[in-house]
Amino acid sequence: MKPVILAKEKITSAKWLELYDIKWKDSHGRNRSWEAAARTQSRGAVMIIAIIKQTDEIILVKQFRPPAGKFLIELPAGLIDDNEPPSQTADRELLEETGYHGNVLQVSPPGYSSAGMSSETITTVTMEIDADHFGEEAPESNQEDSEDIETILIKRSKLLEFLKEEAAAGNGIDAKLWSYAAAL
């Protein structure tokens, strides 16, 4: 027997999130219940793997994340607006958060980063950044008033070592970034 969703009841909603109780039947025919969150006002998110081609540096961001209660080291990311392709979201978010922009090399299909808790999908957009377009000075970001994001450039060959140091210093590491670094 194939698992099947029987019902999805909204428990509560807020500006950016909704909480659901999902009734489903498992592969053994047993009725089950599962609580899950869903985003509102978004068709999912993008995360951006942006590499500066001249230096082989990856662009990271560091920002305070209230649910984690600490600063996190992450890949730049953002929510996809209605009628916006993920590649356009990636270009917009990278420019907003870090001041960089570049060429889109690859766009993944949407994937799930925490499917046991949320229906949110994340599309990975890989970009190449041409440092010659920016001169000697790092570009200035265009962050929203609610954002306080630090841009970090680190050589990919040093990424895993850097993340270990940041974790030892008490900062959180995004699991997707850790997985990328470990795969390198």
pLDDT digits (tens, 9 = 90+) for 16-60: 899 999 999 999 999 999 999 998 888 899 999 999 999 999 999
State yes or no: pLDDT of 137 exceeds 80.
Answer: no
- Residue 174, SS3 per DSSP: coil
State CA 98 to chain mean position distance.
15
pTM for this prediction: 0.90
The tens digit of pLDDT for each residue in 144-182 reads 777 789 999 999 999 999 999 999 999 999 999 999 999
Q: What is the pLDDT of residue 42?
A: 80
Helix H segments across 114-174?
159-168
In this prediction, residue 138 has a pLDDT band, given cuts at 50, 70 and 90, of confident
State yes or no: pLDDT of 141 exceeds 80.
Answer: no
As a whole number, the mean pLDDT across the chain is 93
Q: How many other C-beta atoms can be found within 10 angstroms of the C-beta atom of residue 120? A: 20
Helix H segments across 4-131?
86-98
Q: Please give the domain boundaries of the chain with CATH numbers for all domains.
A: 4-39 (no CATH), 45-183 (3.90.79.10)
From residue 68, how far is each of 5, 35, 53, 72 by CA, in Å? 31, 20, 32, 8
